[in-house]
């Protein structure tokens, strides 16, 4: 069904082993990933992220609970897998093939991918497709992994710490690929410890701890609540008292500007509207408002999870 969620888990339990060595990795996971969203799956080591992803891919089976992927059971793997793309942090394949041979082969399995699409992605990632995969560095091998995950524009991309340990160039290229996939209406489910990457790509984040989801948050809402550093330069002298009515503004300092006038600095949370209106009473010659840092907010969610 087209409008069923991309991923829907209810009371999902996964136990590894039995007897005294048994380990319950998922303790009753409830999770919905809607079609077309980029969902970040965050949590400390051992929380159950990879286990969830392996269940979605039908690489392992749940002990109990319900799981639907693209409207069907993950057990319909053959039909569903061609509509999915998957990349883990350590892309491992037969090393004797060249990148081009492997990607052409995988493209055929996924219903045919034009050679030009493979070339375009390889070009963007600065990947040499003529080299044998076994001779590539970890970073270059991971680029092959990125191409195979994205090349067929799958309905659902499953990414398990896809860029961990990779250089900033590949991380930035990866962010752009996720943003493009999202603009194209594809769904992305991504676990990551790279919070800047999550901040740049995800619509929602879910925090998992000890095998169950503790919070789901909307990244735009977090961004609105988050503080941003602001700096305003005035042609004339202003005082902190002139901005006392702007309740969204905290930690206000006013210093003399080298060009005469004043520089006002502070932290703004919520709407900038009343600050802009208060500032408009004076002659504003400079303005800086930084993009809010969500990392601290993400960490506070991790911690909140730890207390529950
Ligand atoms: N094959 C297995 N056999 C036994 N226990 C396992 C197995 N795979 C995972 N576990 C355990 O299940 C729990 C969840 O592991 P999982 O790999 O899903 O966590 P994760 O959130 O992906 O962690 P990380 O961020 O370190 O990758 C951990 O306690 C782990 O030790």
What is the tens place of the pLDDT at every residue in 286-298? 999 887 767 767 7
Ligand 1 centroid–CA 47 distance in Å is 7
Nearest alpha carbon, ligand 1 atom 2: 16
pLDDT score of 16: 94
ipTM value, please give it. Answer: 0.96
Contact of 83 with 70, CB cutoff 8 Å: yes
| Residue 183 placed within a domain | yes
Ligand 1 centroid–CA 75 distance in Å is 22
| Residue 143 placed within a domain | yes
| Residue 232 placed within a domain | yes
Instruction: Give the separation between CA 39 and CA 125, rounded to whole angstroms.
Output: 24
- Tell if the pTM clears 0.90, that is, is over it: no
Q: Helix or strand or coil: residue 33?
A: strand
Ligand 1 centroid–CA 110 distance in Å is 29
pLDDT digits (tens, 9 = 90+) for 197-211: 888 899 999 989 899
Choose one of 13, 50, 54 to mutate for the ligand 1 pocket test, by most ligand atoms within 8 angstroms of C-beta. Answer: 50
- Indicate the residue among 216, 240, 263 that finishes a domain: 216
pLDDT score of 225: 74
118 and 43 both lie in a single domain: yes
Instruction: Give the separation between CA 166 and CA 8, rounded to whole angstroms.
Output: 31
Choose one of 21, 24, 25 to mutate for the ligand 1 pocket test, by most ligand atoms within 8 angstroms of C-beta. Answer: 25
Ligand 1 centroid–CA 257 distance in Å is 55
93: number of Cβ within 10 Å: 15
Closest approach atom of ligand 1 to CA 211: 14
pLDDT score of 78: 72
Which of these, 126, 131, 134, 199, lies nearest to 166 by C-alpha position? 126
Is 53 a pocket residue for ligand 1 (Cβ < 6 Å)? no
pLDDT score of 74: 86
| Residue 57 placed within a domain | yes
110 and 244 both lie in a single domain: no
Residues of the chain predicted below pLDDT 50: 308
pLDDT score of 259: 86
Nearest alpha carbon, ligand 1 atom 24: 45
135 and 235 both lie in a single domain: no
Domain of 72, in residue numbers: 7-216
Strands 227-234 and 284-289: antiparallel
Contact of 5 with 39, CB cutoff 8 Å: no
Ligand 1 centroid–CA 25 distance in Å is 6
Nearest alpha carbon, ligand 1 atom 25: 45
Nearest alpha carbon, ligand 1 atom 6: 16
Domain CATH number, residue 102: 3.40.50.300
Number of domains in the chain: 2
Mean pLDDT of the chain: 89
76 and 158 both lie in a single domain: yes
30 and 174 both lie in a single domain: yes
| Residue 275 placed within a domain | yes
Instruction: Give the separation between CA 211 and CA 45, rounded to whole angstroms.
Output: 11
29 and 122 both lie in a single domain: yes
pLDDT score of 308: 47
- Contacts for 188 with CB less than 8 Å, ≥ 6 apart: 37, 38, 39, 156, 157, 159, 178, 181, 182, 201
| Residue 222 placed within a domain | no
| Residue 304 placed within a domain | no
Instruction: Give the separation between CA 158 and CA 59, rounded to whole angstroms.
Output: 13
273 and 170 both lie in a single domain: no
Is 62 a pocket residue for ligand 1 (Cβ < 6 Å)? no
């Amino acid at each position: 069904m087209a409008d069923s969620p991309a991923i829907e888990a209810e009371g999902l339990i996964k136990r590894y082993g039995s007897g005294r060595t048994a380990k319950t990795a998922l303790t009753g996971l409830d999770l919905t990933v809607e079609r077309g969203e980029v969902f970040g799956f965050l949590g400390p080591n051992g929380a159950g992220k990879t286990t969830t992803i392996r269940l979605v891919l039908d690489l392992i089976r749940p002990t109990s609970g319900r799981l639907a992927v693209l409207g069907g059971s993950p057990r319909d793997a053959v039909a569903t897998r061609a509509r999915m793309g998957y990349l883990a942090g350590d892309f491992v394949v037969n090393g004797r093939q060249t990148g081009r041979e492997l990607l052409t082969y995988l493209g055929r399995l996924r219903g045919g991918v034009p050679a030009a699409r493979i070339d375009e992605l390889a070009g963007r990632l600065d990947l040499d497709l003529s080299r044998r995969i076994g001779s590539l560095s970890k970073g270059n091998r991971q680029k092959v992994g990125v191409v195979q995950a994205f090349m067929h524009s799958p309905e659902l991309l499953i990414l398990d710490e896809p860029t961990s340990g990779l250089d900033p160039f590949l991380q930035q290229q990866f962010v752009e690929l996720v943003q493009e996939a999202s603009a194209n209406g594809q769904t992305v489910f991504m676990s990551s410890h790279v919070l800047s990457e999550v901040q740049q790509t995800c619509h929602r984040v879910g925090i998992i701890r000890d095998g169950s989801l503790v919070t789901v948050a909307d990244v735009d809402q977090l961004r609105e609540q988050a503080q941003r550093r602001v700096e305003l330069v005035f042609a004339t002298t202003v005082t902190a008292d002139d901005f006392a009515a702007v309740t969204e503004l905290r930690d206000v300092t006013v210093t003399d500007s080298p060009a005469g006038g004043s520089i006002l600095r502070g932290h703004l949370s919520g709407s900038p509207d009343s600050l802009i209106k208060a500032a408009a009473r004076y002659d504003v010659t400079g303005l800086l408002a930084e993009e809010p840092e969500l990392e601290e907010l993400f960490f506070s969610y991790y911690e909140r999870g730890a207390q529950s």
